[in-house]
Structure 1
């Protein structure tokens, strides 16, 4: 006598092995425990940083001598700082010293990429190299600025205003 056939064969699914990785466990079952650990560690770092600051362990020291340049107008003090060889921040060299230091250098405009051997003063705000056609003159302070550091205002007529004078 032949064997009887299985009448559940259409709905029968064989069992498969499924690999569940750490990422699935962390985003599923263990999500709350993992996020609590991250939150606790963040709070501990914030509290320890505040304690170090309150205990005067700050690295930054203030200079007691008054700054002569602070008395000048505000738009002339806004410059990009330069990182020196020793790892400290310093003001960049004046434009006249930079122009005298490299008379034969070729520069390219940051906006239109035109290469020229004529040395022009850079942008007064971000100090990028500019050509004559891309340089914009501020209506209020008269400084030379690039397109990223100036705005064109269309009120009665077209005026260029730098970010310092806005």
Structure 2
């Protein structure tokens, strides 16, 4: 008489146990993802700020060295190419001449001021993101000349309208 094997009572509770190699790549994309992405974001923002400051100080293009030894170029028909230029408002144009000497103004938040936006009270020139619009008189004001009022909702008032 042959006896059958008894079934394992723990089979449904325990999954397969396998050895799994967890490398640095898996850790960076899993557990440390937020920390790694924050460090990439911080490094990128620092590079952008330094580049904006360098351009503001009118560093010549001769100081910048590029490694072009590994770049492979494909031949392209020259009639399809267009030369682009920056005008005095820092906008890209396809016609015109290159503007060599133009002043680049930076706002306190390290943004290039692209238009002549200024505070209506103190005449400080700022970028459009640093200016807030008064809810009453609809003028543009800097953070020193405006107040945020929290009534039923959040609104901005200039110092003249607040009085």
Provide the TM-score with structure 1 as the length reference.
Answer: 0.35
